[in-house]
Amino acid sequence: MKLAQPLLFALLLGIISMNATAQTLPPLPDTISTEARQSLQALEAASAAAPPPASIEEMRQQISQLQDAMGSMQRQRYDVTIERTTIAGVPAIVFRPAGGARSLGVLLNLHGGGFMLDSGSQTENIPLAALTGMTVVAVLYRLAPEHPFPAAVDDAFAVYRDLLRTTPADHIAIYGTSAGAVLSAQLMVRIRDTNTPSPAALGFFSGSADMAHTGDSEEILPKAMGQTLRQLAQPYVGATADTTPALSPIYADLSGFPPTLALSSTRDPLLSQTTLFHRALRRAGVDADLIVFEAMPHAFWSYIVAPESDEAFAAMAGFFRAKLNAVEQP
């Protein structure tokens, strides 16, 4: 993979600073892989020379091209088919292992991208379709600022209800990275509040369940995303009160949430919020696990090719295989 593609991908997502104000971090530890070290050092060295942010329209176009390019490269490792479709009136992408799904399980993905971009509809899902043997449905929900909360949750809920027509709830998992993790937790609140059958599992990967507060890791790493999540999410939050449980699930009754896997990393600004939600789930009696990776940045598996990313995808896939009542296809 050429450096220019993951670098631009990271810059567009705001994962590293877009100018020379990037915070100086300690040297990378010896405990990470050589591949991760090389990628992270190259990203850090290039960040000061990064171009100024493009308009939202240009960023969406560029990141769409990057999703296609990086998805094409991922398919050299993972043999999957990709179909663009519409489900319940909502655009979606369906990923299947080559030769067809080996399991009845369905994974419903809500992609990252700061609520305003599509930063992961392919790169988050191609590996998981191959590694789980399951069908993955990525919801291309409406984006902010044109469509603030709850438009994206409305779209996700519509797709989830449509899946229930053909797939039992205990054969479905919901997951997302970054903004997608936020949306996944919000979708779970909607499902519970409407007495809709609950999925078998939730993947909460480098996200937040609290739009009202900034986590300690964001204060420690204030420049890592260019701005705090509260600032980044304002076009999405709109006029909704930030402690509304439907928007900030940490203020909701979390009892009855499905088994949850939370992932983050020590140089992820959303580490605090990921761990706070994990603890809130456990206090509510939910079966919740947390994995934290050493020295990796926010949502690293979506754009860094390294053993750590392979390990993250393997952990996700193992969790979904274990938690879904997804019998093998006859």
Burial class of residue 126 in the structure, from the number of CB atoms within 10 Å of its CB (0-12 exposed, 13-18 middle, 19+ buried): buried
What is the Cα–Cα distance from 88 to 166, expressed in whole angstroms? Answer: 13
Structural domain includes residue 262: yes
Average pLDDT over the chain reads 89
183/204 Cα distance (integer angstroms): 9
State the pLDDT at residue 49: 61
Give backbone dihedrals phi and psi of 311, rounded to 5 degrees, phi first.
Answer: -65, -40
- Residue 218 sits at the vertex; the CA angle it makes with 21 and 179, to the nearest 5 degrees, is 105
Asked if residues 235 and 116 have their Cβ atoms less than 8 Å apart, the reply is yes
pLDDT (mean) for 144-158: 98
* Rounded CA separation 212/222 (Å): 17
Which is it for the CA torsion 37, 42, 48, 53, positive or negative? negative
User: Residue 3 has what pLDDT?
Assistant: 37
- Mean pLDDT calculated for residue range 53-64: 83
- Residue 200 within any structural domain of the chain: yes
As a whole number of angstroms, the distance between CA 121 and CA 31 comes to: 30
Which CATH number goes with the domain that contains 274? Answer: 3.40.50.1820
The mean pLDDT of 100-106, rounded to a whole number, is 90
Average confidence (pLDDT) over 167-190: 97
Domain with 99 in it? 79-323
**74 or 232: which leads in pLDDT:** 74
Give dist(CA 328, CA 250) in Å, integer: 35
pLDDT higher than 90, residue 146: yes
3-state secondary structure of 143: coil
11 found inside a domain: no
For residue 329, what pLDDT is reported? 64
Beta carbons of 6 and 46 less than 8 angstroms apart:
no
Task: Report the candidate in 172, 165, 60 with the shortest Cα–Cα distance to residue 118.
Answer: 60
Alpha carbons 16 and 184: distance in angstroms, whole number: 24
Average the pLDDT over 188-196 and give the result.
Answer: 98
Q: What number is the average pLDDT over the span 191-201? A: 98
Let me know if residue 7 belongs to a domain: no
Share of the chain above pLDDT 90, in %: 71
CA angle (201, 154, 167) in 5-degree steps? 40
Flag whether 156 is in a domain: yes
Question: What is the domain count for the chain?
Answer: 1
Q: Give residue-wise pLDDT tens across range 260-307.
A: 999 999 999 999 999 999 999 999 999 999 999 999 999 999 988 899
Residue-level pLDDT at 241:
97
pLDDT band for 6, please (50, 70, 90 cuts).
very low
**pLDDT 10s digits, 222-243:** 655 567 888 889 999 999 999 9
The reply to whether 68 falls in a domain is no
Give the largest CA-CA distance in the chain. 57
CA proximity to 198, closest of 239, 120, 245, 258: 258
pLDDT for res 19: 32
Amino acid identity for residue 318 in this structure: G
- CA-based nearest residue to 72, from 58, 62, 82: 82
pLDDT at position 23 over 80 = no
> Which one-letter amino acid corresponds to residue 181?
A
Residues 187 and 174: beta-carbon distance below 8 Å = yes
What does pTM read for this prediction? 0.92
Q: Which amino acid is at 63?
A: I
21: pLDDT strictly greater than 70: no
Q: Report yes or no on 64 lying in a domain.
A: no
**3-class state of residue 37 by DSSP:** helix
β-strand partners of 176: 110, 204
- Is 42 contained in some domain? no
Instruction: Provide the pLDDT for residue 7.
Output: 44
Nearest to 18 by CA among 58, 60, 48: 48
Token pair, residue 80, equals 């999957």
